Structure 1
């Protein structure tokens, strides 16, 4: 466990790199780029809705 705590970020980075490599080989480069863009867009919209409180206002009206 001490080894993981010592090299936590390189291990996490390696796992993320492995997942990205598998995505490139299975779905292709441009589809993966589109996937990451859509995920980023979804995160942006979710954060916007959370910060503005639009969803909470809609819930209170019902």
Structure 2
């Protein structure tokens, strides 16, 4: 099973992300989904920035 996951890691991850995105579109709507994605990306960028500069150490 681990060999199959390693061979098809990116298609599995992208497919899962697409599935979650589709569920979000259907349940909360387009604009709310876009807000969730924008805030998640902004939080990730801020986290990488803080880690790279050692601000929280």
Structure number with greater Rg is: 1
Trace 1:1-62 onto structure 2 (pairs within 5 A).
Answer: 1=1, 6-56=7-57
Runs (5+) with no aligned partner, structure 2: none
What is the TM-score normalised by the length of structure 2?
0.75
- Provide the aligned length of Structure 1 versus Structure 2: 56
Name the structure with the higher helix share.
1
Runs (5+) with no aligned partner, structure 1: 57-62
Would the alpha carbon gap of residues 53 and 18 (structure 1) be closer, same or farther in structure 2, given more than 3 Å must change?
same
What is the TM-score normalised by the length of structure 1?
0.70
CA-based RMSD: 1.8
